Structure 1
Amino acid sequence: MRSPAGLVFIQMGLTGIAEAVRRSSTSPVRSDVGELHRRYLWLMLDALRVHPHEASPLPVPALTSGQTQRLLAGRAAQPAG
């Protein structure tokens, strides 16, 4: 990473994921949705590795398209704050 500012954007992305998950907690899209941030943190950190072609297995499976749509729909339906 060439700039510490890059870490700010990684943090913003993870914060957005965590916020979407928090808002969907009343009707989770699947049982492990609370661990979803781990998948994307892992992806981001793996991309920063010295040898990114040696990717490691992800700790949480990807959401399906339907699960992603339900998660984002719950985010849009609830006011921020």
Structure 2
Amino acid sequence: MYRYVPSEEFLFSPFIGHYRSFGIAVFQYTEKGWERKSFFSDVSTDPSFVTALAQRCTRGQLSPDHLLDVLFDSI
């Protein structure tokens, strides 16, 4: 079972300076409990977009192997 969780980040770009963005952390349930498997940084600066995308991925139990494709298709 997978859980996709939006995660707030504070980043810096030499072109725009400091900014707030949101990534998606991927957790998998194992015999030890929830373990973080991967993290995709700087998905969007729109928290509602990232939250909705993470919820859809969790509901659909998307394999983390396909998250990058979903991210590219979403933007």
Instruction: Report the TM-score, using the length of structure 2 for normalisation.
Output: 0.28
Flag the structure with more relative contact order, 1 or 2, with Cα contacts below 8 A and sequence separation at least 6.
1
Tell me which protein shows more helix as a share of its residues: 1
Instruction: Report the TM-score, using the length of structure 1 for normalisation.
Output: 0.27
Which of structures 1 and 2 has the bigger CA Rg? 1
Tell me which protein shows more strand as a share of its residues: 2
